[in-house]
Chain A
Amino acid sequence: MTSALRYEWRRLWSIRSTYWLIGITFGLQLIATLLAAMGTGAVNDVFDAAETVSQIITLGAATGLSPLFTAYIIAMFGVFCFGHEYRYGMIRATLTAVPDRRAVFAAKALITALLAAVMSVGCSLIGMFSSMVFLDTRGALGSEAVWYVVLGSAIYTMLFGLCGMAFAALVRNQTGALAMILLIPLVAENVLSLVLRLVSEGGSDAVEIAKVLPFDAGAQMYASAFADELNRFLGYDPLGAVNGGLVFAGFTALLMAGSFALFLSRDA
């Protein structure tokens, strides 16, 4: 396992895409959160300091109304860790250097998860900094409500990155995996959710199915107090952070298990 970890670690830091992905993620987060903080104007009664910081660091995703932008960039690390292997014919070189496929898969998963979580926390810290530049949020930075969003978005991003990795291992095609990690949560799941909600207005329980759509369920992990109020106002009762997180984690685990089994059994 240590061989596989050493290999994966060097693989990660010996390609340019790692550096430009980190640069783009942090750079865009800095610019976007600075703009968001500047545009917010002031902390008010509806958006108190903790709520304001939560919305700035997630760029509004904590409202439940928009996707967690940074997770989509960070998930590319997961896609690339297998995508590059197949795109550039490296997989056979990898498996002749480390023939233990379980170790190769585990090392990729571990490093993807760790990197995604660390980068997500980094993005949150950038958001906190931006909020302080324009707003009086210093007092809320250590609050439980803010750290709940920070932790939730880190776990979500970690699982999201692992989904990207699993897609790439499943389809063995980098472009296909990138399309899947973008289109499944952003398009397929949203369309399905909309259809299920419309159907449920006719009196069925279809909305219960919409609640367990994995990416949407997982987003409850970083939903802020405002999102809860908004859902109550709309009469929608999502799974909540723990149950939603478990659904997303379960989905990720299934995806990982499937791609792991295929990685072991397929020809390289």
Chain B
Amino acid sequence: MAVIEATGLGKRYGAKSAVVDLSFRVDPRSVTGFLGPNGSGKSTTMRLMLGLDNGDGRTTFDGVPFRSMRDPMRHVGALLEAKAFHPTRKARNHLRLLAAANGIPDSRVDEVLAMVGLHSVTSAKPKSFSLGMGQRLGIAAALLGDPHTLILDEPANGLDPQGITWLRNLLQQLAGEGRSVFVSSHLLSEMALLADQLVIIGRGRLIASGALSDFVTSNARTAVIVRSPDMALLGPALAARGAYARPGDEGAYDVTGIEQSVVGDLAHEVGARLHELSTRRATLEEAFLDATGMSEEFIGGVQQRPPAAQGQSGDYWQGPAQGEGR
């Protein structure tokens, strides 16, 4: 077991709150993505979890706070920032240094260097490393103690496409071995492929947590697309089942709050012809932007199209229990 439990995390910088009463749980055998807009407090949260920043709350790893651990790298591996190493200390010596403090045999150093693909530069000085190579060295440091928990802050930064694929496979393999992997990223497309659980924050507060698939499915943009010349029949029937139908593209309707199969059954019952019946799933990016829209602190000057108007006038049908699914 390797359960991370964060309870009531909080951090203030003067009058500004960076993290506010943030609680979440990360379970083993999962890659948990930590998402939030820039400046939402992700890195601060990770530092609080490891006792590097002073603040409120408590984080335990299998019931033990990080600062109380003996040989902590054997329990929790962390990557907090790229290129956190002395530029002239050889890659192997950098890891030997960390290993020495945690009772990890030096032989493990070459193992993890090979694991991250740096076996050919073990004696090179990191000042010549690219950002991606620096990230790999940081990941090697996190893996050094063969820990049950990994906390990685933007590990994909600087990695090339092959590197990102390698990272994805590595993290999924590690999670599959029963470890807890907690990883932040601003690359939503990567996170969609990488994570199976999500913790989403905005302005330091928890917005959502749970399975990635639930988060995407529950988003308003996930809808059943219905195209029918008999919407006058089908619309009220959908509304009666608690669904919400609004005009979509090219004469189709976006129906939320109801399964595709139920729409098909209803159409059959009321005798409505169907020219199209399909489900459009929201992307993680759409779901994330909707979830954090109210929390975005640094919205640029570009005007965004407002969400589709909602109401009951015209050709809208809405059930008594509004079925946005959120």
Instruction: List residues of A whose CB falls within 8 A of some B CB.
Output: 3-4, 6-7, 9-11, 14-17, 84, 88-90, 92-93, 95-100, 265-268
On whether the beta carbons of A90 and B73 are closer than 8 Å, the reply is: no
| B108-123 interface bits toward A, Cβ cutoff 8 Å, 1 = contact, 0 = none | 0000000000000000
Among B47, B86, B88, chain A packs the most CB atoms within 10 A around the CB of B86
Q: Which of B72, B76, B103 has the most CB atoms of chain A within a 10 A radius of its CB?
A: B72
Nearest to B94 among chain A residues (CB) is A14
* Of the residues B52, B93, B102, B103, contact of A267 by C-beta under 8 Å: B52
What are 16 contact pairs spanning A and B, CB under 8 A? Answer: A6-B100, A7-B101, A9-B100, A10-B93, A10-B96, A14-B94, A15-B88, A93-B84, A93-B141, A95-B50, A95-B52, A97-B102, A265-B54, A267-B47, A267-B53, A268-B52
Q: How far is the CB of B174 from chain A (nearest CB, A)?
A: 18
A3:B88 contact, CB within 8 angstroms? no
Checking A14, A16, A268 against B47 with a beta-carbon cut-off of 8 angstroms, the contacting residue is: A268
How many whole Å from A200's CB to the nearest CB in chain B? 46
In the complex, B316 has a CB within 8 A of chain A: no
Contact B81 A89, beta carbon cutoff 8 Å? yes
Q: Which residues of A contact B94 (CB under 8 A)?
A: 14
Assess the B52–A3 pair: CB atoms within 8 A. no
Q: A99-B72, A267-B52 are in contact. List 10 more A-B contacts (CB 8 A).
A: A3-B102, A7-B97, A10-B97, A14-B93, A14-B97, A92-B80, A97-B73, A100-B67, A265-B54, A267-B53
Instruction: State whether B84 touches A92 (Cβ < 8 A).
Output: yes
Give the shortest distance, in Å, between A250 (CB) and chain B (any CB): 29
Total number of residue pairs linking A and B with CB closer than 8 Å = 84
A7 to B94 CA separation, bound complex (whole angstroms): 10
CB distance from B225 to the nearest CB of A (A): 49
Which residue of B has the minimal Cβ distance to A4? B101
Question: How many interface residues does chain B have, given as a range?
Answer: 20 to 34
Closest to B72 in A: A99
B281 at the interface (CB under 8 A from A): no
Could you tell me the distance in whole angstroms from the C-beta of B45 to the nearest C-beta in chain A? 13
Chain B residue nearest to A87 (CB atoms) is B86
CB neighbours (8 Å) of B93 from chain A are 10, 14
Q: CA of A219 to CA of B86 in the docked complex: distance in angstroms?
A: 35
- Are B97 and A96 within 8 A (Cβ)? no
Smallest CB gap from B102: residue in A = A97
9 closest Cβ pairs, A-B complex: A7-B101, A14-B93, A268-B52, A267-B53, A6-B100, A99-B67, A97-B101, A89-B84, A3-B101
